[in-house]
Amino acid sequence: MENKTALVTGSSRGIGREIALKLAKKGYNIVINYARSKSAAQETAEEIESFGVKTLVVKANVGKPEKITELFTAVEDTFGRLDVFVNNAASGVLRPALELEESHWDWTMNINSKALLFCAQEAAGLMEKNGGGNIVSLSSLGARRYLKNYTAVGVSKAAVEALTRYLAVELAEKGIIVNAVSGGAVDTEALTHFPNREELLREAKERTPAGRMVEMEDLANGVMFLLSEEASMIRGQTLTIDGGISLLT
């Protein structure tokens, strides 16, 4: 049987890279999607190939439906199948609600929310040919609670979680399982863009009941669990991995 194939958007760095590496260790061929740094994507590909699997590196801004079509066409042309789609790529403008402009809103919603809808449509077409598959999205606590400067991103992640529920029901008949993972603050490159980064890190370190911050591997482990056979009856859920900080008022 051919190796199964996984596409992880935004997988040249950060959490997406961690997920891609874990999938490669399980024997999946990996499609690495990136938007900016080709060198980072190539470095990730080289590390993944050390596990004896194949990679495909594709530059595509998933906020644009035409680029999504090109991405999935490349997947089909190269591997002929898709078994796992991890909707990880994210971006956004970090400003208070009253300072947001239309371009900020559109940019954030397109990459974080619209991308899931149109990627899921493409993924479903490929997965159905092989009897099904799994879709997992990355969300954050800002989808359900207030985070400073997080208005546009928080709303976009709330849309991801809602869409996860709808997709889980509508794609079930095709053998496709859909879920999401929501994380607390993780010290990634993306966090450097937060104007209140130090405040977020300090609060996470001091208040997380588990005694430490959430790390990238924690979220990647959550994704891998949702992709496992043991989680096959979990549908349309958002698994929160935050060390318990969201339990505090």
67 catalytic per annotation: no
Contacts of 161 (CB under 8 A, 6+ apart): 137, 139, 143, 144, 180, 182, 238
DSSP letters, 181-207, are: EEE----SGGGGG-TTHHHHHHHHHHH
Burial of 197 (0-12, 13-18, 19+ CB in 10 A): middle
Identify whether 34 is a catalytic site residue. Answer: no
Q: Write the CA distances from 199 to 147, 172, 194, 208, integer angstroms.
A: 11, 41, 10, 14
Tokens encoding 195? 């104007």
The residue type at 106? D
For 78, the token pair is 């190269």
List 150, 166, 174, 205, catalytic entry: 150
At residue 62, φ and ψ (nearest 5 deg) are: -75, 0
- Of 26, 157, 174, 205, which is the active-site residue? 157
Residue that the structure tokens 């709330």 belong to: 158
Per-residue tokens: 210: 């588990």
- 208 residue type, one letter: T
Active site residues: 150, 157
